[in-house]
Amino acid sequence: MKICTGIAPVNIAVIKYWGKKDEKLILPMNDSISGTLSTDEMHAKTSVALSPDFTEDKLWLNGKEVSIHQPRVAVCLSELRKLAQQKKSGGDMVHWKMHICSENNFPTAAGLASSAAGYSCLVFTIAHALGLDSSQVSHIARQGSGSACRSMFGGFVRWRALPSELEGKQSDGEESEDLRRKQSEASNAEQIISEAYWGSMRVIILVVNDQAKSTSSTDGMQRTTLTSTLYTHRVHTVVPERCERMETALNEKDFATFAQLTMQDSNQFHACCLDTYPPIVYMNDTSHAVVRFVHEFNTVAGGTKVAYTFDAGPNACLYLLEDSVPLLLSTLVQYFPASSEISVPYVRGLKYSTTPSPLQLPSFTPQPAGLLQYLISTRIGSGPKILDDIPNNHLVNEQGAPNHLTS
C-alpha cells in the first residue's frame, strides 16, 4: 500500500496555445509560453493510493466519483504505467490499481485553467508514486489537457510544438507506433527562466461577473483551425517570431517588451476566435473595459507597467512587477469598485502594506460597481510539489476511500 499527495499550479499563457495538429496526442499547432502561478494562492491537489488489494482504478474529482474511463484520464494512467515498466521503476506497483482523489482550492467556475492544474497534478503525483522522474513526464500531462504540460514546471515555461522533421506521416498513410511515440515525446514543456530569476514578477487575476456559457476550448480550437483564414498566418508567421522575442524579453527581464508581446498575443488569439465561423467570443464588455483601463493606466503612469491577458473566458490576468502592484490595485479598485453586496474580501491573496492614492485616469470613466467578483493577488511560483511529509494531508485514506465526499 502506498499513498502519495501532490499539488500543482495553474499557468497563464503569455503566448497562447490554440489549435491542435493531432487531436489524440494533443500536439499543438504552435509553441506557447506561460507563467506558472504560485501554489500558495491557487493549486490543484491530488492524492493517489496504490494497493495490491484494490480491484479497480477509481477517481474522485472535488469529492465526487467520476469515471476513470474518460479517455484523457485513461491515457495518462496507461502512459505512466508503460513508462514505469520501461524504466523498471515502481516495482510491483505498476500492476496495482489506484484510487485517485483530486480537487482544486479555487472555484472551477472562475474558468481559471483548472484542467491544466488538475492533469498536471495527477500526472506529477502518480509519476512520483511510481518513482519516475517528474521532469520527464510533461508529454504525458499534455495528453490529459494540452496546457497541463506547462504546469509541470515553475517560472516561465515553453511548450514546444512538434519539430517539423517529426511531422511526416509514413508513405502508406499510416504512422508507425514508433513514430507516434517519438512525436508524443517531442512535444514537451521546458522551463525558460525560474521563478527566482525574475522574482519581482506579480500576477493579479480579475474574476469577471459573468454567467454566460462559453464555447468549450476543444470545440473552439477545432472550429478555428478549420475556418479562420487569419489563423494560419498567426501559426506559421507570427507566433514563431513572437516566441523568440518573448524568450529574449524574459532572459533580459525586459518588462516593457514582455508586456507588449503578452497583450498583443492575447488580442491576436481573440482576433482569431472572432475570425472563426461562426465566431467565438470569450471577452465581454467588462473584459474590454479592463483592456482600456490597462492602456490608460500605462499611458498615465508613463510607461508599460501592466499587461493584460485573457484565456477562453472573460476573466483578465494582469502581469506586473512588484513595485507597480500597490498603485495598480488602488487605482483598479477605484475604477472597478466592488459590489456593495460583497461578503468576502474584494482583493484576495498576497497582501501589500502600502496603499498609494489612485492614479487619476482622465480618459477612463469609473465603471459600475460589481463588474468584477473579486481579485486574486499572486506571483510567479514553482512547479508541482509532493506533500508527503505534511501529516493529515492526504485526500484519500488507508482504505482507499476519499476523506471527504460532496453530494
Chain positions contacting a second copy, by CB under 8 A: 229-230, 233-234, 237-238, 260, 263-264, 267-268, 270-272, 274-279, 281, 284-285, 288, 291, 295
State which residue, 128 or 234, has the beta carbon closest to a second copy.
234
State which residue, 299 or 397, has the beta carbon closest to a second copy.
299
C-beta of 200: minimal distance to a second copy in Å? 25
State which residue, 3 or 318, has the beta carbon closest to a second copy.
318
Alpha carbon dihedral 136, 142, 144, 146, in 10-degree steps, equals: 160
Q: Quick one: which of 192, 281, 177, 271 has its CA closest to 233?
A: 271
C-beta of 234: minimal distance to a second copy in Å? 7
C-beta of 292: minimal distance to a second copy in Å? 8
Q: From residue 245, give the alpha-carbon distance in Å to each of 15, 66, 253, 301.
A: 11, 42, 12, 24
* Dist. CA 147–CA 132, nearest whole Å: 21
C-beta of 109: minimal distance to a second copy in Å? 18
Q: Quick one: which of 117, 151, 155 has its CA closest to 137?
A: 151
C-beta of 22: minimal distance to a second copy in Å? 25
Give 195's strand partners. none
C-beta of 112: minimal distance to a second copy in Å? 22
* Dist. CA 375–CA 403, nearest whole Å: 30
C-beta of 400: minimal distance to a second copy in Å? 42
Q: How many DSSP H helices and E strands does the chain contain?
A: 10, 17
Q: CB under 8 Å to 350, separation ≥6 — which residues?
A: 40, 41, 202, 377, 378, 379
State which residue, 27 or 246, has the beta carbon closest to a second copy.
246
State which residue, 61 or 289, has the beta carbon closest to a second copy.
289
* Dist. CA 176–CA 35, nearest whole Å: 35
Cell reading at 199: 522574482
Q: From residue 151, give the alpha-carbon distance in Å to each of 24, 159, 375, 381.
A: 20, 10, 22, 10
State which residue, 30 or 46, has the beta carbon closest to a second copy.
30
Question: DSSP label at 235?
Answer: I
State which residue, 42 or 263, has the beta carbon closest to a second copy.
263
